[in-house]
Amino acid sequence: MKPACLRPLPAIGMAIAVALSASCSKTESGAPKANAPVATVDPTTAGSIQVQVSYNGPVPTPKVINMNGTPACAALHPEPVLDPRLVVHDGRLTNAVVYIKSGLGDRTFAAPTSPVVIDQKGCLYDPHVAAVMIGQPLQFRNSDQEAHNVHGRPKNVDSWNFLMSRPGSTRDVTFDKPEVGIPVGCDVHPWMQAYASAFDSPYFAITPSNGTVELKQVPPGEYVLAVWHETLGSLVKPVTVAPRGTAKVDFAYQAPQG
Ligand SMILES: [Cu+2]
């Protein structure tokens, strides 16, 4: 564990800490297996995994987010904004993170250089759930006039916390280890919550409203596939990808009892 690169400010009227060092704009860089050769996937044998994530049971009526504590935020939303923590359409779950949990062995994969963006817009995170590869920038953008701080609270990688007060500003975070479901929040506006994940392979996807994703260009092999959701937790299943084959995996979460 590298030392945290962020230093708390003395109390300035709100319980936030702000990164003081420019070097902290990227918390970490580089992959832990940087010396290992990057895997090449043979396109003539690669297969795919089609995944459907379902939610069985009654879906609670989403709550309306109350922004009245910050009138400037509330004024941006003439229509009610619904809590995004459990979104189900026709029994399919949105914002579930599907990924290969194990089975890739020692393969290492090159990370895309293009960032994945989480925008702060209307005092909300867009998207609510995002994922990158290790070494790929996760870019926070502030499209609001309102100042936000971005506070990541991971378990394994270094935490981060910085203030974004300038409209249009961006700031990148990168990861040197995988971690799933890192809570990200704004301490100024407590309803602002997002989740970030970092993976050491490109085999991950976040379910859209139809609850269905496809992991492509997967080498033939036996894997453990996992899905994570912020309120429902994790499920795992084994899956075998045959050469040029398409494996299908259905995950089904059950509605919590009571
Ligand atoms: Cu905020």
169 C-alpha to ligand 1 centroid (Å): 14
Q: Reduced to 3 states, what is the DSSP secondary structure of residue 23?
A: helix
d(CA 93, CA 252): 9
Please tell me the predicted confidence (pLDDT) of residue 96.
Answer: 98
**Residue range 115-136: mean pLDDT, rounded:** 98
Please tell me the predicted confidence (pLDDT) of residue 31.
Answer: 44
pLDDT digits (tens, 9 = 90+) for 229-246: 999 999 999 999 999 999
Buried b vs exposed e over 82-93: b needs ≥16 C-beta within 10 Å?
ebbbbbbeeebb
Mean pLDDT over all residues of the chain? 88
Please tell me the predicted confidence (pLDDT) of residue 34.
Answer: 53
DSSP-derived pairing of the beta strands 212-218 and 92-93: unpaired
Q: Is the pLDDT of residue 13 over 80?
A: no
Q: Is the pLDDT of residue 4 over 70?
A: no
Please tell me the predicted confidence (pLDDT) of residue 114.
Answer: 98
Rg (C-alpha) for the chain, rounded Å, is 19
188 C-alpha to ligand 1 centroid (Å): 5
Please tell me the predicted confidence (pLDDT) of residue 39.
Answer: 85
CB 16 within 8 A of CB 49: no
47 C-alpha to ligand 1 centroid (Å): 42
206 C-alpha to ligand 1 centroid (Å): 24
Q: Is the pLDDT of residue 61 over 50?
A: yes
| Model confidence band, residue 36 (pLDDT cutoffs 50, 70, 90) | confident
Please tell me the predicted confidence (pLDDT) of residue 25.
Answer: 37
200 C-alpha to ligand 1 centroid (Å): 30
143 C-alpha to ligand 1 centroid (Å): 11
Q: Is the pLDDT of residue 38 over 60?
A: yes
83 C-alpha to ligand 1 centroid (Å): 16
| Model confidence band, residue 24 (pLDDT cutoffs 50, 70, 90) | very low
**Residue range 61-80: mean pLDDT, rounded:** 95
The DSSP 8-state label assigned to residue 34 in this structure reads T
Please tell me the predicted confidence (pLDDT) of residue 89.
Answer: 97
Percent of the chain with pLDDT over 70: 86
209 C-alpha to ligand 1 centroid (Å): 26
pLDDT digits (tens, 9 = 90+) for 141-200: 999 999 999 999 999 999 999 999 999 999 999 999 999 999 999 999 999 999 999 999
